[in-house]
Structure 1
Amino acid sequence: MKLSKKFILEPHFFAVLAGLALPIALQDLIKFSLSLADNMMVGSLSEAALGAVTLASQPFFIFSMLSFGIASGGGVLVAQYYGKHDAESIQKIVSITICIGVLFSFLFGLGTTLFPRLVMQLFTNVPELIDIGAEYLRIQGFAYFFYGFSNTMIMLMRSTREVKAGLIVNLSAFVLNIFLNWTLIFGHFGIPALGVQGAAMGTVIARAAECFALLVYVRFMECHLHFRFKKMFHFDAVLFKDFLHYSIPVVINETGWSIGVAMQSVILGHLNSTIVAAASIVGTLQQMALVSIFGVAGASAPIIGNLLGSGKNLQDAKRYANTLILAGFFVGAFMAGSLFIFKDPILTLYAIPHGTIELAKTFIGIQCIMILLQSYTSPAIVGILRAGGDTTFTSILDIGTLWIFSIPFGYLAGFEWGLSYAMIFLMLRLDEIVKFPILVWRVEKKSWIRNVTR
Structure 2
Amino acid sequence: MNHEKISWVSFFRTVLTIALPIALQNFLSTTASMVDTIMIGSQGELSVAAVGICSQISSLFFSCYFGFASGGLLFFSQYWGARNEKGINRVFGLALACMLAVSVLFGGAAVANPEFILGIYTDKADIIAIGAPYIRIVGFAYPLQVIAMIISFLMRSTERVKPPLISSVLALITNFILNWILIYGRFGTPKMGAAGAAVGTLVSGVVNVLVLLMFLMKDQKTVELRLKEMFSWQDGFLKEYMGKCLPIICNELFYGIGQMLINIVIGHQSASAIAAMAAFRVLEGFVFAFFAGLADASSVVVGKEVGSGHLMSGYQYMKKFSVLCPAITFCICLIGLLLNRPLLSLFGLGAEAMFFGKYMILIYLAAGTIRTCNYIMNCCYRAGGEAVFGTLLEIICLFTVSVPATWAAGMIWHLPFLAVFSFLYTDELIRLAFELWYTVSGKWIKPVTEMGQAALPEFRSALAARKKRL
Asked whether the 8 Å contact 2:155–2:161 carries over to 1, the reply is yes
> Residues 414-425 of structure 1: matches in 2 within 5 Å?
414-425=410-421
Aligned to 2:308: 310
Asked whether the 8 Å contact 1:21–1:292 carries over to 2, the reply is no
Matched, 1:443 2:439: yes
Asked whether the 8 Å contact 2:330–2:366 carries over to 1, the reply is no
Among 341, 344, 348, the alignment partner of 1:347 is: 344
Among 385, 392, 403, the alignment partner of 1:389 is: 385
Asked whether the 8 Å contact 1:292–1:331 carries over to 2, the reply is no
Among 135, 138, 159, the alignment partner of 2:136 is: 138
Q: Partners in 2 of 1:10 and 1:127 — Cα distance?
A: 54
1:346 maps to amino acid = L
Asked whether the 8 Å contact 1:290–1:335 carries over to 2, the reply is no
> Residues 73-84 of structure 1: matches in 2 within 5 Å?
73-84=71-82
Q: Partners in 2 of 1:404 and 1:302 — Cα distance?
A: 32
1:305-324 CA distances to partner (integer Å, 9 max, x unpaired)? 11111113x23333222222
Aligned to 1:296: 294
Aligned to 2:454: none
Q: Partners in 2 of 1:26 and 1:316 — Cα distance?
A: 25
Provide closer, same or farther for how the CA distance between residues 7 and 256 of structure 1 changes in structure 2, counting only shifts above 3 A: farther
Provide closer, same or farther for how the CA distance between residues 210 and 131 of structure 1 changes in structure 2, counting only shifts above 3 A: same
Provide closer, same or farther for how the CA distance between residues 257 and 347 of structure 1 changes in structure 2, counting only shifts above 3 A: same
1:432 maps to amino acid = E
Matched, 1:359 2:383: no
Matched, 1:373 2:370: yes
1:183-218 CA distances to partner (integer Å, 9 max, x unpaired)? 111111111111111111111111112112222222
Matched, 1:86 2:100: no
> Residues 216-231 of structure 1: matches in 2 within 5 Å?
216-229=214-227, 231=229
Q: Partners in 1 of 2:55 and 2:289 — Cα distance?
A: 19
Aligned to 1:245: 243
Aligned residues: 448
Aligned to 1:126: 124
Q: Partners in 2 of 1:186 and 1:223 — Cα distance?
A: 45
> Residues 154-233 of structure 1: matches in 2 within 5 Å?
154-229=152-227, 231-233=229-231
Q: Partners in 2 of 1:96 and 1:212 — Cα distance?
A: 21
CA shift for structure 1 position 107? 1.5
CA shift for structure 1 position 178? 0.7
Among 61, 68, 71, the alignment partner of 1:70 is: 68
Q: Partners in 1 of 2:82 and 2:51 — Cα distance?
A: 45
Among 400, 404, 410, the alignment partner of 1:404 is: 400
CA shift for structure 1 position 244? 0.4
Query: Pairwise CA RMSD of aligned residues?
Result: 1.9
1:416 maps to amino acid = I
Question: Quick check: 57-66 or 95-104, which moved more?
Answer: 57-66
Among 285, 310, 324, the alignment partner of 1:327 is: 324
1:319 maps to amino acid = Q
CA shift for structure 1 position 451? 1.5
Question: Quick check: 443-452 or 166-175, which moved more?
Answer: 443-452
TM-score in terms of structure 1 length:
0.94
Q: Partners in 2 of 1:20 and 1:181 — Cα distance?
A: 32
Q: Partners in 2 of 1:433 and 1:117 — Cα distance?
A: 37
Question: Quick check: 50-59 or 176-185, which moved more?
Answer: 50-59
Q: Partners in 2 of 1:251 and 1:152 — Cα distance?
A: 15
Q: Partners in 1 of 2:231 and 2:65 — Cα distance?
A: 19
> Residues 22-61 of structure 1: matches in 2 within 5 Å?
22-61=20-59
Q: Partners in 1 of 2:382 and 2:419 — Cα distance?
A: 33
Among 430, 433, 439, the alignment partner of 1:434 is: 430
Provide closer, same or farther for how the CA distance between residues 230 and 194 of structure 1 changes in structure 2, counting only shifts above 3 A: farther
Q: Partners in 1 of 2:26 and 2:273 — Cα distance?
A: 26
Asked whether the 8 Å contact 1:92–1:236 carries over to 2, the reply is no
Q: Partners in 1 of 2:10 and 2:121 — Cα distance?
A: 48
1:367 maps to amino acid = Y
Asked whether the 8 Å contact 2:371–2:428 carries over to 1, the reply is yes
* SS of equivalent to 1:145: helix
Unaligned runs of 5+ in 2: 451-470
Q: Partners in 1 of 2:403 and 2:4 — Cα distance?
A: 38
CA shift for structure 1 position 33? 4.0
Aligned to 1:13: 11
Q: Partners in 2 of 1:201 and 1:268 — Cα distance?
A: 27
Asked whether the 8 Å contact 1:79–1:309 carries over to 2, the reply is yes
Asked whether the 8 Å contact 1:124–1:270 carries over to 2, the reply is yes
2:209 maps to amino acid = C
CA shift for structure 1 position 222? 4.9
Asked whether the 8 Å contact 2:269–2:417 carries over to 1, the reply is no
2:440 maps to amino acid = E
Provide closer, same or farther for how the CA distance between residues 291 and 134 of structure 1 changes in structure 2, counting only shifts above 3 A: closer
Among 115, 118, 135, the alignment partner of 1:117 is: 115
Question: Quick check: 257-266 or 77-86, which moved more?
Answer: 257-266
CA shift for structure 1 position 167? 0.8
Q: Partners in 2 of 1:113 and 1:361 — Cα distance?
A: 36
Q: Partners in 1 of 2:409 and 2:8 — Cα distance?
A: 49
* SS of equivalent to 1:349: helix
Question: Quick check: 342-351 or 420-429, which moved more?
Answer: 342-351
CA shift for structure 1 position 142? 0.3
Asked whether the 8 Å contact 2:266–2:274 carries over to 1, the reply is yes
CA shift for structure 1 position 104? 1.5
1:291-310 CA distances to partner (integer Å, 9 max, x unpaired)? 44323312111111111111
